[in-house]
Amino acid sequence: MQYRPLGRTGVSVTSFSLGTMLFGGAVDEADAARQLDLALDAGVNSIDTANVYGRGASEELLGRLLQKAGRRDRIVLASKFHCAMNDDDPNAAGSSRRHIVDQCEASLRRLGVDHLDIYYVHRPTTRVPIDETLRALDDLVRSGKIRYIGTSSFAAWQLLESLWAAKEHHLNRTVVEQTPYSLLDRRVERELLPMASSYGIGITVWSPLAGGLLTGKYGRGASPSGVRLARGGKGDWDVKHFGDRVDPVVDAIVDIAAGKGCTPAQLSLAWLLAQPAVSSVVLGARTADQLTEQLAATDVMLDDEDLARIDAITPPGRAVVPYYLDDAYADFRPHLHHW
């Protein structure tokens, strides 16, 4: 497993991180234990969770497994806050000082650890000044409860605003951004990735397989059962993923993968690993077999000809399935009519 720098922190993370969004839900304790052992034995040193995954269930299960594994000291452990933890309490969500401090303490208890290596602002917001959020996070850094501050799904301007506020108020700054990035949405290449590179910010990636589309199981009009997405479904997630341009792109990726002797998922992940701005890609497998397949993407080598063929199918800076920026303006849109 290759080690990569996490921005300019001096910390090294493996090219793949173990994602635990499904732990305690679709992935039960036995399967979660198999995935954790598999990842650690493969050399993975980065694990990603969030308070909202199962509303604490993922962190609780991961905490139990980490205690059994006994390898916490080698792990770069990340969690997140922002999303609602209680539908009946408006203060149990967001990026206020109150919520940040409460949720950090709760995450530490559930995980059974005394600190988090990375604590991510799970989504941007315009409802709380970024300096209030950063000041609360700065206090947590100074108290030793978190080591580094991260953001997730921030637009380039929001990330830059956080850097400006940190400098203005002499606070610990954001050092890593976790962003949606895949062959089906490359818009982060326009501004976010160049900006992050310029300011020494690490990039971790969520949804690298675009909700499973890039596994190829939906290729050529297929509509498999028992999966996350439904072709023809009416939900926002379903509608987003099945546009007119999706099938031809996915089919072309499947064909390239067949020519390389790998799976479409492995090709898609290998392509991300070939991007110099990427520090680590978060893998969120449902089964140990899926995780084994995905980890093997490190063996797939892409040459200039391969990368050029992929660029011709999904041009740089373009999107077939939109992820990036969907959340960056989510709570801003309702207020636009006031301007």
Strands of 1-103, DSSP E:
3-5, 12-14, 16-19, 46-48, 76-81
Taking a C-beta distance cutoff of 8 angstroms, is the pair 272, 278 a contact? yes
Active site residues: 53
Q: Where are the alpha helices (DSSP H) in 226-319?
A: 236-241, 246-260, 264-273, 288-295, 304-313
CB atoms within 10 A of CB 41: 8
Q: What angle do CA 110, 67, 72 make, to 5 degrees?
A: 95
Core vs surface per residue 262-272: b (16+ CB within 10 A) or e: bbbbbbbbbbb
- In whole angstroms, how far apart are CA 211 and each of 164, 289, 323, 327? 34, 17, 10, 16
DSSP symbols for 234-251: -SHHHHHH--TTHHHHHH
For residue 95 the two structure tokens come to 């990026």
Q: Which class for 333: exposed (0-12), middle (13-18), buried (19 or more C-beta within 10 A)?
A: exposed
User: Which residues are registered as beta bridge partners of 202?
Assistant: 176
Cα separation of 152 and 181, whole Å? 12
- Report the sign of the C-alpha dihedral through residues 288, 294, 300, 301, in that order: negative
Cα separation of 65 and 117, whole Å? 18
Q: Are strands 116-121 and 3-5 parallel, antiparallel or unpaired?
A: unpaired
